[in-house]
Structure 1
Amino acid sequence: MTLSATFLGTSGAVPTVERNTSALHVRREGDAFLFDAGEGTQRQMMRYGTGFDVDAVFLSHVHGDHVLGLPGLVQTLDFNDRDSPLDVYTPRGTGDEVRSLVTAIGATPSFRLDVHEVAPGETVLERDAYGVEAFHTEHRTNSVGYALVEDDRKGRFDREHAEELGVPVGPKFSELHAGNPVELDDGTVVEPEQVVGDPRPGRKLVYTGDTRPIDATVAAAEDADLLVHDATFSDQDAERARQTAHSTGGEAGRIAREAGADRLALTHISSRYGGAVGALKADAADEHHGETILAHDGLTVDVPYQ
């Protein structure tokens, strides 16, 4: 079951030659989502081959570097004869701004565009076997982060032991794996717990958007397989990070460590560093003892099952 994240934009508020403004494309098997859509997002989608089959867009907040790509994307989807609805999720109190942005040039898409205001603590999207939850972030405006959380998977089926207990190969295997006891020809009842292991955790992918390092992210990212965290500044510019309500690489690393996140991806890198961004990764790696990734445009990170 595929779960992957492609970074379409990893710059801070100002794009650079190498980095576009914020956008993250996430694909879970046949479903595709965008987390933020900075200016130029649709061109990045073409450049890095994600396709335009987006089911929903999740906006962390409505600063320009996170939303200005939305009108162009909606127009292109309209030109491509999209007929399925597009759901856009945005922090509470910002729905009218998003609607105005999309229709700023006076055009209304032919497909239905549904804008949903969300609040921290809500499950904003529910699908079979997973959901997307909003959590509190701390920025200079109404903002949220999002966590894609899969349901637990069934435990492993011990076929060898089932056969030892006399369960015939066939439908009774499926019944046991589904959690139902089965009766054998001699009247013996085999319970699921005899041949099925403990449930196995699903995967968790967490995206903060712009934020200070806060406990709400630690809670949302507990045992995350991939945490994508704001790392706008290096630790030597920590005061600037506080003034602008962003995080440093070291602060992102600390959050990942406290959450027990397996992997940390740093994004929203300030243009002030140019190509000299190694310090941000070093700052984060000093704090986080799992894998630390300095994201760049076009990077795809696959999220395997543990």
Structure 2
Amino acid sequence: MELYFLGTGAGMPSKRRNVTSIVLNLLAERGTCWMFDCGEGTQHQALKSPVKIGKLEKLFITHLHGDHIYGLPGALTSRSYQGGDTPLSMYGPKGLRAFVETSLLVSDAHLAYPLEIVELEEEGLVWEDDAFRVTAMRLEHRVECWGYRIEEKDMPGKLLTDKLRELGLPSGPLYGRLKSGQDVTLPDGTVVRSADVIGPPIAGRTVVILGDTRYCDGARELARGADVLVHEATFAQNRQELALAYDHSTSVDAARVAGEAGAGTLILTHISSRYQEEEADVLLHEAQELHADTHLAHDHFSYTIARKPAGAL
């Protein structure tokens, strides 16, 4: 599981930062990737990266400001040309369907795959299968805006094969039964309990990706106990009044959310174009004073979310 940042700027692109788009690489887990927001030029950014638009399985939109959605028509059509023929699901605020369908209609675009668009109405569960769960909550921004919490479910521990060999069990079908949770009775009447030969469970990982927001309860609730929190940091702390006026966050706001939520790694993104090159370091240093485990994302920055040791739930 890896986060890859295609665009990390705010409002409008700059020479150093394109507008917002983040990819959650799940190739190892499910052979696909998920995208969060798709600002103008996202498909061009993908061409300079390992990201394959054809591998997109889900696309989550936080809100309908242009710097988060103007790349959608190009990315959706390019997915067809890059071999994407499997269904694609999109999630986002009311109005997303009208934007996408109108863009495709007036440009006479034809997709080679089924497209499902889900407009969010209530906070809570967005999607779930046997391996992942996605929930969403409203944030505080000038327009309806959502944050997403992606939770990988815990996995069963590994089969303790050394212990099985000590008990005299040859490898084969019995191993599979024990791995699936079934107890096994040996020819001599000995009962081997599955629970005794399975190691501790492997904890799932939790990633929280927020849209544009001022400091708010929704952000804190979504981020509670997350392994990684991606939070906007449009301004430095000396621009707090400007941040409040436009319903954005400062680097200190982001660090406060991470600390109060007990989140692990904090990654700052959505950086105003006023902070170029070394000037952006002030955002990082301000956040690190409150939350030491903080990174400042830049375009094509990647971060691998490592698994916790077995049993560390």
Q: Which structure 1 segments of 5+ residues have no match?
A: none
Number of the residue aligned with 1:178: 180
**Bigger Cα displacement from structure 2, 121-130 vs 239-248:** 121-130
Answer yes or no: is 1:249 the counterpart of 2:247: no
**Cα distance in 2 for residues equivalent to 1:251 and 1:158:** 46
Distance in 2 of aligned mates of 1:133 and 1:31:
19
Match for residue 39 of structure 2? 38
Shift of residue 287, structure 1, vs aligned partner: 1.6
Instruction: Describe how 1:1-306 pairs up with structure 2 within 5 A.
Output: 3-29=1-27, 30-53=31-54, 54-80=56-82, 82-275=84-277, 276-289=279-292, 291-306=293-308
4+ residue segments displaced more than 6 Å: none
The answer on whether the counterparts of 1:93 and 1:142 sit within 8 Å (CA) in structure 2 is no
Within 2, Cα distance between the matches of 1:76 and 1:288?
A: 39
What are the superposed Cα offsets for residues 82-139 of structure 1, whole Å, 9 maximum, x if unpaired? Answer: 4333322112354323432443434443543322102453433334411322222221
Please tell me whether the aligned partners of residues 83 and 111 of structure 1 are also in contact (alpha carbons under 8 angstroms).
yes
CA–CA separation in structure 2 for the residues paired with 1:117 and 1:239: 32
Q: Please, what is the CA RMSD of the aligned residues?
A: 2.1
What's the CA shift string for 1:49-99, capped at 9, x where partnerless?
311221221100010000000112223234456433332211235432343
Note the C-alpha offset of 1:253. 1.2
TM-score, structure 1 normalization: 0.91
Gapped runs of 5+ residues in structure 2?
309-313
Could you tell me whether the CA contact under 8 Å between 1:45 and 1:52 is conserved in 2? yes
1-structure distance, mates of 2:75, 2:289: 39
Q: 1:31 to 1:110 in 2, by over 3 A?
A: closer
Q: TM-score, normalised by structure 2?
A: 0.89
Whole-angstrom CA distance in 1 between matches of 2:158 and 2:84: 41
Letter in 1 for 2:15: V
Structure 1 residues 282, 114: CA separation in 2 closer, same or farther (over 3 Å shift)?
A: same
Contact 1:10 1:296 in 2 (8 A): yes
Q: Over residues 209-240 of structure 1, what are the superposed CA-to-partner deviations in whole Å (9 max), with x where a residue is unaligned?
A: 11122232233223222211111111111111
